[in-house]
């Protein structure tokens, strides 16, 4: 089995003016591809090459096999990040996700405020996530390649706050990139679908 670079769910210029085609060309075509290529090199001839990507992440983390873990996790994180964004007009959360955001954060504006604080406050490279845990939502940040896949929580959406995600468009102004993501780019349908799947799994386990 060979780990494959997933296709972008939109054209390189689809997120402009908030994320430029040049940024996506480098971020997807160089950084994301590089993680997949390195993962295949590190997994070749090992038990990991026949695993699903999620299994490779969790097993390599448990066994402290850093090279496989970092590249596998970064490959997965980036695919999840592309799906967490969408082109077009601003969208808003719907259904049960909208209700939970209202109940737990006091509304979308307060959610954005708290998410921004986490994302801007993440020291160095990493990711900021909206996750589901039992019957609650939480905003968490993870350093470097880490993700909720190594925790009991379920990711609903994510923002990449590695500098290569925004430097060509925003230079060192991470806060402006975070604002663009929160106000214009979030794919709330993707987040709702992830929440629906999480709730279905919980019901089956009862």
pLDDT in tens, 153-204: 999 999 999 999 999 999 999 999 999 999 999 999 999 999 999 888 877 7
Instruction: Tell me, yes or no, whether 200 and 121 share the same domain.
Output: yes
Q: Are 108 and 75 in contact (CB under 8 A)?
A: no
Measured between alpha carbons, how far is residue 75 from residues 6, 114, 183 in Å?
9, 27, 26
Its pTM surpasses 0.85: yes
Instruction: Tell me, yes or no, whether 140 and 44 share the same domain.
Output: no
Instruction: Tell me, yes or no, whether 78 and 106 share the same domain.
Output: no
Measured between alpha carbons, how far is residue 22 from residues 13, 30, 171, 203 in Å?
8, 11, 14, 44
Find the domain containing 168 and state its range: 95-205
Can you give the CATH number for the domain in which 140 is found? 3.55.40.20
Q: Does a structural domain hold residue 8?
A: no
Instruction: Tell me, yes or no, whether 135 and 189 share the same domain.
Output: yes
Q: Give pLDDT, residue 1.
A: 60
Res. 89: pLDDT tops 80: no
Cα–Cα distance measured from residue 74 to residue 68, given in angstroms and rounded to the nearest whole number: 10
Instruction: Tell me, yes or no, whether 106 and 139 share the same domain.
Output: yes
The total number of structural domains that make up the chain: 2
Cα–Cα distance measured from residue 12 to residue 21, given in angstroms and rounded to the nearest whole number: 5
Q: Are 199 and 193 in contact (CB under 8 A)?
A: no
Instruction: Tell me, yes or no, whether 59 and 142 share the same domain.
Output: no
Instruction: Tell me, yes or no, whether 61 and 107 share the same domain.
Output: no
Instruction: Tell me, yes or no, whether 73 and 165 share the same domain.
Output: no
Can you give the CATH number for the domain in which 60 is found? 1.10.287.990
Secondary structure element (H or E) that encloses residue 138, with its range: strand 136-143
Confidence tier at 134 by pLDDT (50, 70, 90): confident
Instruction: Tell me, yes or no, whether 62 and 120 share the same domain.
Output: no
Measured between alpha carbons, how far is residue 1 from residues 8, 22, 48, 75 in Å?
21, 31, 9, 15
Phi, psi of 158 (to 5 degrees): -145, 160
Cα–Cα distance measured from residue 78 to residue 105, given in angstroms and rounded to the nearest whole number: 26
Instruction: Tell me, yes or no, whether 185 and 153 share the same domain.
Output: yes
Q: Does a structural domain hold residue 62?
A: yes
Instruction: Tell me, yes or no, whether 130 and 178 share the same domain.
Output: yes
């Amino acid at each position: 089995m060979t780990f494959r670079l997933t296709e972008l769910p939109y054209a390189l210029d689809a997120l402009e003016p908030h994320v430029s085609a040049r940024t996506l060309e480098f971020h997807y075509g160089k950084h994301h591809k590089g993680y997949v290529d390195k993962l295949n090199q590190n997994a070749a001839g090992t038990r990991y090459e026949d695993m699903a990507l999620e299994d490779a992440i969790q097993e390599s983390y448990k066994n402290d096999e850093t090279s496989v873990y970092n590249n596998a996790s970064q490959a997965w994180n980036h695919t999840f990040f592309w799906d967490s964004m969408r082109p077009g007009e601003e969208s808003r959360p719907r259904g049960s996700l909208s209700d939970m955001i209202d109940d737990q954060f006091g509304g979308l504006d307060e959610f954005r405020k708290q998410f921004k604080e986490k994302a801007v406050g993440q020291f160095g490279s990493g990711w900021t996530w909206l996750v589901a845990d039992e019957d609650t939502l939480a905003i968490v940040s993870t350093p470097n390649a880490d993700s909720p896949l190594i925790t009991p929580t379920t990711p609903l959406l994510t923002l990449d706050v590695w500098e290569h995600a925004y430097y060509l468009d925003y230079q060192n102004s991470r806060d402006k990139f975070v604002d663009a993501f929160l106000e214009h780019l979030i794919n709330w349908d993707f987040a709702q679908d992830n929440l629906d799947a999480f709730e279905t799994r919980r019901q089956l386990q009862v």
